[in-house]
Structure 1
Amino acid sequence: MHHATDLITIFNGLFAEKENTQLVRGDGEPIYLPVTEGGSACHQVVFAHGFFASALHEIAHWCIAGKQRRELVDYGYWYEPDGRCVEKQHEFALVEARPQAVEWVLHQACGHRFNISLDNLSVDPQAFAPFKDAVLEQITNLKLHGLPPRAAILQEALADFYEQPQNWCQYPFDVSQL
């Protein structure tokens, strides 16, 4: 079974002290909250409604974000909810391919099915294929160049906990899985 509470325990055990960052179950939309005066004493990666996949997705963003981005709410990126116009959907796809590639690796480390997402129910279905290709390209780049350091640490811990192969490059690369 896959429980978000396990992800919270693993993530916080690895990064709460070392990176002053905690994974937190939220009740609404996911968000990254850096430490601010009068706010939390640690950075928070807040995921939606206790959903396992949401936690992995938000973690993937955190694993990619550089030090400066981790000082900004939601890493300084804009977010527009479901119903984006074609132009905004294209912008979304440009910044989402790499996080979803890292998310794929984390799902594999958990032995959990990954579902690619355009995060827009009103998107033209023809936009899905190019985005899927972009995510696949990013997975290939990660296989060639390696994971970001925090993602590599987490991938190893998740693979150990879920008894999956440690060498993530050996994960089956089944495009039907996307």
Structure 2
Amino acid sequence: MSEPSCTQLINLFNSLFRDTLNTVLVKGDDEPIYLPADENNPHHRVIFAHGFFASALHEIAHWCVAGKERRKLEDFGYWYKPDGRTADEQALFEKVEVAPQALEWIMAQACGLKFNFSADNLSGGIGASDSFRQNVHDRVHHLLENGLPDRHRQLVEAMLVEFKQPPLQPAQFSLEGR
């Protein structure tokens, strides 16, 4: 099968969540952002960057993590420090990124794609730490063994069908070779 397309992902996401949770996935031209519905837009919007499939998965993962109240806030009300974070700031970033990156890895696998850890700190010269990678890996295994959150489960099940992937197994998720 050829590489999954953003159009497939947008259609899949929107078919699941436009009517049930008033949320759509949108290909953006700039930086990714989550925007709640407002007077000009009837739907909440998960906007991913530059048509990149990986960006879409990352933004969807943040949406899956966000609770009902956070989904009422622009970018879920999260703090964000751009490139150039200090080591302490990077450690805080990694702490809050474990859950979304674990969900992103599961979705990437469900789409038949390779997952790449994101330290999101290129100019700071600090990549994803070994402990961060291990924590994400551990979270993936925990989720697979104990069950995915509802929105994420719905999406992953639909992705497996849409992208013709086998059921997910913990053995598919390894830190070797990463």
| Alignment TM-score, normalising by the size of structure 2 | 0.92
**Partners in 2 of 1:78 and 1:97 — Cα distance?**
15
Say whether 1:169 aligns with 2:169.
yes
**Partners in 1 of 2:70 and 2:177 — Cα distance?**
31
Note the C-alpha offset of 1:33: 0.5
Per-residue CA deviation, residues 53-107 of structure 1 (Å, 9 max, x unaligned), is 0000100111111111111111110112111122221111111011000001100
Per-residue CA deviation, residues 12-33 of structure 1 (Å, 9 max, x unaligned), is 0111111100000111111110
Q: How does 1:35-46 map to 2 (within 5 A)?
A: 35-36=37-38, 38-46=39-47
Aligned equivalent of 2:83: 82
Per-residue CA deviation, residues 133-167 of structure 1 (Å, 9 max, x unaligned), is 111121122123211101100001110011112x3
**Partners in 2 of 1:149 and 1:74 — Cα distance?**
21
Q: How does 1:24-63 map to 2 (within 5 A)?
A: 24-36=26-38, 38-63=39-64
Structure 1 unaligned segments of length 5 or more: list them: none
Structure 2 unaligned segments of length 5 or more: list them: none
**Partners in 1 of 2:177 and 2:153 — Cα distance?**
22
Aligned equivalent of 1:5: 7
Task: Decide whether the 8 Å contact of 2:137 with 2:174 is kept in 1.
Answer: no
**Partners in 2 of 1:23 and 1:176 — Cα distance?**
32
Q: How does 1:94-133 map to 2 (within 5 A)?
A: 94-121=95-122, 122-125=124-127, 128-133=129-134
Aligned equivalent of 1:16: 18
| Alignment TM-score, normalising by the size of structure 1 | 0.92
**Partners in 2 of 1:44 and 1:177 — Cα distance?**
35
Aligned equivalent of 1:143: 144
SS at match of 1:168: coil
**Partners in 2 of 1:123 and 1:70 — Cα distance?**
32
After superposition, the CA RMSD in angstroms is 1.5
Task: Decide whether the 8 Å contact of 1:113 with 1:177 is kept in 2.
Answer: no
**Partners in 2 of 1:51 and 1:18 — Cα distance?**
25
SS at match of 2:76: helix
Per-residue CA deviation, residues 35-69 of structure 1 (Å, 9 max, x unaligned), is 12x23111000000000000001001111111111
SS at match of 1:176: coil
Percent of counterpart pairs with the same letter?
49
**Partners in 1 of 2:149 and 2:8 — Cα distance?**
22
